Every structure is written in structure tokens, then in C-alpha cells.
Amino acid sequence: MTAEPLSSVTSAEPPKTRVMVVDDSVVIRGLVARWIAEVGKFDVVTTAANGRIAVEAVERFQPDIVLLDLEMPEMDGVAALPLLLKQKPGMRVIVVSTLTQRNAEISLKCLSMGAADYLAKPDGRHQVSASADFRRDLIEKLTIHAGSRARPVRVAPAAVVARPSIKPIATRPECLLIGASTGGPRAVEEVLGGLGSALRRVPILVVQHMPPMFTAVFAEHLQTQFGLRACEPTHGEPLSPGTIFIAPGGRHMGLSRTGSDVPVIRLDDTPPVNFCRPAVDVLFRDAAAVLGKAALAVVLTGMGADGTQGARALVKAGATVLAQDEATSTVWGMPGSIAKAGLAHDVLPLDAIGPALKGYITGSSS
């Protein structure tokens, strides 16, 4: 069995993003290929029934983006991923899996191995074909990565750090807030790693756009990685230094104060904000009201502008806001929106963010 060649771009057509669909189901391959072709911005150059066929097809078909199913015979997605990236460095691979805890764990592992993104699909062919949400998410992710594919997923830090838009605040932070989306899991991990001993000094609240199953697994991963308590919090749980609170997928996470004036976690199921739930804006707005200038926030890689309105409230309250730079972002949507709005105290490459946050938290630049 070999890869199946599909349409090809003629010289008269404008250049389109070249996509390869890898799935062991011929029905799903055909369905997804048709959806993608109907958009008009993509060229599905080939499909493959397993990882081995996909790896062999890369050199011939030169895809820009690969949709890679995880569960396949002969060679699954995990085994194929490093081989695909070796064949064409900088190619965007989006891993696709049904929403189970095991697949969430595997998907996060794939992100650490160099996959650009993940996509949760319904369980079963009928559910896939009937799911408008899956089709919308599929096209949205392809569009995101088509727009940013010229920049590798892993890049060197920017040579020049942008000047701060506004002067830093001297107040010692009492809480660290992190917002991220596409490319975020790996970025969040690197930022936390750069904090060093400052990890234990403040509560850390993270809003990462993820499905429900993924956020719980992400928390477990961070707890193992850093040896600190990392969890999806409960409603009303008080903030505690050295704890990483991950907003549960499908719920907003914010802050409020108890009768004793102690900040506590607030969870709710109100409608999405910026098409997101959890939303960074919700956390940032609450933090502006509850913590004021004692909040320290950073916005990492991600599509859209979630976090901008909340950052505006934080800056107005006297808090400090940092943003990741374009060169090291998978998608410079969310941090770019912060920077362009003039709300960032610093716009920094990813590897400089952790040390910068540590300086704010400890009161030292060393």
C-alpha cells in the first residue's frame, strides 16, 4: 500500500497550503480531504493509511501541514512523528486523536516531541461525519498553521528584545497569571522552568485553551515535571504559594475574595469569552479587581486576542504585563495583540520570560 496522490496545484493557480491527511480509516481520510478541499485555500496533495506510508510520502509530496492520527496499524502517529519532522524540518504536524485520557497524555507527549498542535476528534466514523464542531476546529487549526508555517515551531530566541511599551511596576507580585493557546503547553513549561526557586514563592494561575480531558493531564504533567502541586482547582479554593492552578477545560477560572479577604479561585460555566472557555480575559479582569498592582501576568503564544481586554484592566490597576515576542511564538496572535495595544511592559523571547518573571517575583534582576 502506498500514499494516495490527490489534486495538485497547477502553475496558473495561486499557491495553496499543501496538506497530507494520515488516518487508517478510508472513510475519514476521504471525508476530511473533501472538507479541506472545499475551503479553497488548501491543496490535499496526498493521504496515507498509516505512519510508514506517510513518512515515505513526504519527500515526494512535500506537504506543509500533516494531519496525523495517533492510533494506526503498522506505524502509529507517535512513532511516525519524529520521522516526519526529520524528513522535512519546519513542517507543521497536527496530531489528531479521540478524547480519552490516554490520548490526551500521548498528544501532550507529541507536542513535546515537536508537533505543532493537537485536534480532538469524536469517537467513531459517524460521529466524525456528523460533527460540525470537529469540522470547524479542523479548518480553524489548518488556517492558523497555514498562516504561520513559514516560521518553524522551534526557533532561536530573537536577537533583539523589544523595548518596553510602558514602565515596569516596582510592587512585589503576590500572584503570577499565565495565558496561552496554540503552542502554549510547551511554552508554559519553558516559562515555569525559567522561574527556578521563584516557583515556590507565589500562586501560579494558568489559562491554557484546551479540552477538558487535556487540562487535567496537563496539570499532572506539570506536577511531575516540577515537583510542585499542580491541579485543576475547586471553586472557592484559596490561593497558595507554590501551587500551579490550571483552569479546567470548559470552565472559566477567575478570582474573588472571601469574607476574610483571602483571594480564592472562582469557577463558572458562563458563556465563552472571545469564543473561549476558559478565557484569559476572565482571569485577568478578576485579578485586576482582586489583586490590583500585586498581579504579574504574561501572555504567551496563541491565536486571537484573548487576554487583551483583561490586560488593559490589569495595567489600569497598576499590575505588570509581559508578552512573548513574535519570533518565538507558534502563533503571534494573543501576545501580538497585547504588544500592539501598548499594554506590555516587556515583549520578550520565550527563553527570557521565565528569568524576567523571576526578577519581578524576587525583586532581583539576577
Give the global pTM: 0.86
What span, in angstroms and rounded, lies between the C-alpha atoms of 178 and 87?
34
pLDDT tens for each residue of 201-212: 999 999 999 988
Could you give all domains of the chain from N- to C-terminal order, each with its CATH number? 4-148 (3.40.50.2300), 175-362 (3.40.50.180)
Nearest to 62 by CA among 37, 80, 33, 87: 87
Q: Which of 23, 76, 306, 325 is catalytic?
A: 306
Beta bridge partners of 268: 252
Contact of 273 with 306, CB cutoff 8 Å: yes
Residue 168 confidence (pLDDT):
60
Q: Which of 209, 221, 252, 345 is catalytic?
A: 209
Residue 159 — very low, low, confident or very high, per pLDDT cuts 50/70/90? very low
With a cut of 60, say whether residue 9 has pLDDT above it: no
Q: Which of 97, 107, 165, 181 is catalytic?
A: 181
Q: Which residues contact 341 (CB under 8 A, 6 or more apart)?
A: 308, 311, 312
pLDDT tens for each residue of 304-354: 999 999 999 999 999 999 999 999 999 999 999 999 999 999 999 999 999
Nearest to 192 by CA among 244, 248, 239, 155: 244
Write out the DSSP string of 90-140. T-EEEEEEES-HHHHHHHHHHHHHT--EEEEE-SSHHHHHH-HHHHHHHHH
With a cut of 80, say whether residue 260 has pLDDT above it: no
Place of cell 495561486: 14
Q: Is the peptide bond before 82 cis (omega within 30 degrees of 0)?
A: no
pLDDT tens for each residue of 10-50: 455 668 999 999 999 999 999 999 999 999 899 999 999 99
Phi, psi (degrees; rounded to nearest 5) at 49? -90, -10
Catalytic, 306? Answer yes
With a cut of 50, say whether residue 163 has pLDDT above it: no
